[in-house]
Every structure is written in C-alpha cells, then in structure tokens.
Amino acid sequence: EAGVTQFPSHSVIEKGQTVTLRCDPISGHDNLYWYRRVMGKEIKFLLHFVKESKQDESGMPNNRFLAERTGGTYSTLKVQPAELEDSGVYFCASSLVPGQGAGEQFFGPGTRLTVL
C-alpha cells in the first residue's frame, strides 16, 4: 500500500512568489492534516480536512495560506505571496479515523520550502 506522498520534495522561491504544495493521502483516508516545522521550532498543526471539508483550520498562520481538498482526495497548500518566515518543512498526514486517543496518523516525507 502506498504511503502519503508529497510534491515537491524541495522548493526554493523568492519572497513574494507563489508556491503550491501537494499531498496525496493514503487511499481511503478521509482525514488529511497539514503541519509545518519552521527552523528550530516544533512541528505545528495547520489544518485538518475531513473529506473535502475543513474541520479545523485554527493553525493556519494568516490569509496568505490557502488549503484545498477538492473531491476529498489530494490536497494542495498554496502560499501567496511567500515571505521569508514561511521557510520550513511542510508535512502532510492522513488517517482513517481520528480515533480514540491519538489514533495513528501517517505522515508524508515533507516538502522543504526555502524562501529567499
């Protein structure tokens, strides 16, 4: 079974440009999450989709970030315009159900974003 995949693995852009990150969750997983780790900091939650609906977007830092999950399959995270402080690693995770306790989330390898 294929795991969570993310594209691209690395992205280097200039301040003010736009970048779109893609996440393909494990097939059949209704729950999709985005997290990020900015340099030297902890991994932080960004948002949670249940199918195509945003369940919780309390972690989105500002309106320069837009996440979509059309059709409830893959998801995209767009940063427009990118700022220097957006540099970091963006992780996507999916799960079958949130589950009791923590449940188990399956993480992708992440996209390393560098904003120059």
Asked if 61 is part of the footprint of other proteins (rule: CB under 8 A), the reply reads no
Q: Specify the residue, 16 or 109, whose C-beta has the smaller distance to other proteins.
A: 109
Distance of CA 45 to the CA centre of its chain: 9
Angle among Cα 76, 82, 88 to the nearest 5 degrees reads 75
Question: Residue 65 Cβ, how far from other proteins at the closest point, in Å?
Answer: 16
The structure tokens 């320069």 sit at 64
Locus of tokens 């340099």: 39
- Which residue type sits at 92? C
The reply to whether 25 sits near other proteins by the rule CB under 8 A is: no
What burial class does residue 72 get, using C-beta atoms within 10 Å of its C-beta: 0-12 exposed, 13-18 middle, 19+ buried?
middle
Our finding on whether 62 is near other proteins (CB under 8 A) is: no
* Binding span for other proteins by CB under 8 A among 14-22, 60-68, 75-83, 92-100: 92-100
What is the binding site for other proteins (CB under 8 A)? 4, 31, 33, 35, 42-45, 48, 55-56, 59, 91-93, 95, 98-110
